[in-house]
A = this chain, B = another copy of it.
């Protein structure tokens, strides 16, 4: 039997297993979902065992567990370290979901659920690729595989970052494989060879010792919400250029050939604005294309802000406290620690009169770039091109997968970023979806990658 036939004949079960996985609300950032996160780890471990992986273990960490498994009976063949994450982002705002986020629902060939694309649906393809190969090869695989699946990707990946350095021998491999990215566009085989880094922080502003009556005190006392507004507004200009001194010092432009290749990618700003963004216009640094701005330029975003009275109606307080979530995306060569220091200095230099600012760093990781000439990347490009029937393109992503940098630093290996999502999958948004055809194609393509890389 051929791989393709096996995958096709097992589609219904592959979907059913993924649905069961998606029904577990493994939201890593919300403490009340800790038991669900653990349940998701157990689900992954059980499926790894069923697929024939050995030495499967749930590794306790200070927060959410890691799941490990391996199959190492192909001496002389390369070893692939498969990485993915079983945790998901919170689903809010809930009222914008057409169907419940943890009740997977199919509409128009797409599977709607939180985590369907990011990353449960994608990491599960690796397991099903292993299963398929073993089924066809009498329980054997064409190469060695190790799986390391984490439950903290959406909250900074602290535990896996801590686990990798002292376990170099255990995790030793020739290449890592990650499916947590998207096709450049439907039908275009895409290998991502660059990811931005991320520094995620909270800024808290305090003003008066308590909330004060704005009539009696207004005009003479600091306002914590306004103080936070003032300082954050100074951090970018109207064009989105970051105004924090030193922040662009280490930013390097991509190589001319890479920039040139991006120009040949199909991209329609009008469609992008209308179908994906939905605002009145696009924004950002003048002089850079959208791909450059999102793949190769640092950015600063405020993800949320809260302070004072925000219920319905009117309350006339001068708030004592306000908090914002602020992050920076980083380009290769930018040192996260230097960015944090620059932001800290900026806050200190721009603290509004009468207020105090506190900076808390929640996570940080550098950007990464992968050499497209590595043998595993070359095999992946060939297999991918054959699967979708057109040449593979090399892109970057503006997102961040900090573990890819850790694999490079501590294990000395590159990562094949072979994702099957689509740009409009709505990661981190309401109505996240994953295209079912891509799910099955992904299982097949990954199995073929294992086969040819092991040949």
Binding site for B on A (CB under 8 A): 28-31, 89-90, 92-93, 96, 154-156, 196, 198, 200, 206-223, 225-226, 229-230, 232-234, 236, 238-240, 276-285, 290, 293-294, 297, 299, 301-319, 322-325, 327, 329, 352-356, 362-363, 397-400, 423, 426-431
Contact = CB atoms under 8 A, between A and B. Distances in A.
Contacts of A399: 213, 215-216
A348 to B, nearest CB: 13
Contacts of A282: 220-221, 354
Contact of A277 (B208, B306, B322): B208
Q: What 10 A-B pairs are tightest by C-beta distance, nearest first?
A: A209-B278, A215-B399, A29-B313, A304-B308, A233-B233, A219-B293, A306-B310, A304-B309, A218-B299, A304-B310
7 contacts: A208-B279, A212-B276, A223-B302, A225-B302, A232-B233, A302-B319, A303-B308
A297 B217 CA distance: 11
A312 B277 CA distance: 26
Given A294-B219, A305-B322, A212 B29 contact: no
Contacts of A311: 29-30, 90, 92
Nearest to A291: B220
Given A304-B310, A305-B307, 16 more contacts: A89-B315, A90-B311, A210-B278, A210-B426, A214-B329, A216-B399, A218-B299, A220-B277, A220-B290, A221-B277, A225-B324, A229-B233, A238-B352, A303-B314, A314-B327, A316-B327
Report copies per complex: 2
Given A210-B278, A281-B353, A355-B280, A226 B222 contact: no
Contacts of A398: 215-219
A321 to B, nearest CB: 9
A195 to B, nearest CB: 8
B429 A317 contact: yes
Contacts of A318: 301, 303
B210 A96 contact: yes
Contact of A216 (B92, B319, B397): B397
Q: Tell me which of A155, A200, A220, A302 has the highest count of chain B C-beta atoms within 10 A of its own C-beta.
A: A220
A165 B224 CA distance: 40
Nearest to A309: B304
Nearest to A297: B219
Contact of A299 (B219, B281, B353, B355): B219
A306 to B, nearest CB: 4
Nearest to A207: B279
A95 B431 CA distance: 36
B428 A211 contact: yes
B354 A315 contact: no
Given A213-B429, A301-B214, A285 B363 contact: no
Contacts of A312: 29-31
A399 B215 CA distance: 4
A143 to B, nearest CB: 31
Contacts of A31: 312
A66 B345 CA distance: 55
A302 B207 contact: no
Contacts of A230: 233, 238
Given A211-B93, A299-B219, A280 B329 contact: no
Contacts of A280: 222, 354-356
Contacts of A212: 276-277, 428-429
Contacts of A304: 225, 307-310, 315, 317, 319
A303 B278 contact: no
Nearest to A224: B279
Nearest to A313: B29
Given A218-B398, A427-B213, A302 B308 contact: yes
A84 to B, nearest CB: 17
